[in-house]
Amino acid sequence: MANDQELGGLWCHEILQGLSDYLAGDLPKTQAAQVDLHLTQCPHCTQFGADFSKLLKQVQSLSKPPSLSPEGQAALWQVLTHGD
């Protein structure tokens, strides 16, 4: 990843790997604090995190979780392939 950089003791790719756990509140406090620190200093991860967070809320708010709408699938695919 071209924008990979180390901030707050974590690399961007580590942020992206742990982002779903972070948003779900599954990370230990020390790790979550490191992610917070990185996100406050890294524009790239802040933007990605905001998009990912928005999408996650959309997915979670769907009334029928087993079948994603075509729009939802397209949005998910876009996030999964973002920055590749």
The binder of Zn ion chosen from 12, 16, 19, 35 (CB under 5 A): 12
Smallest separation, CB 32 to Zn ion (Å): 15
Q: Which residues, 6 or more positions from 63, have their beta carbon under 8 angstroms from its beta carbon?
A: none
- If one asks whether residue 35 binds Zn ion (CB under 5 A), the answer comes out as no
Q: Which residues, 6 or more positions from 67, have their beta carbon under 8 angstroms from its beta carbon?
A: none
- If one asks whether residue 19 binds Zn ion (CB under 5 A), the answer comes out as no
Smaller CB separation from Zn ion, 44 or 75: 44
* Interface of this chain with Zn ion, residues 41 to 70, rule: CB under 5 A: 42, 44-45
Q: How far apart are CA 4 and CA 23, in angstroms?
A: 20
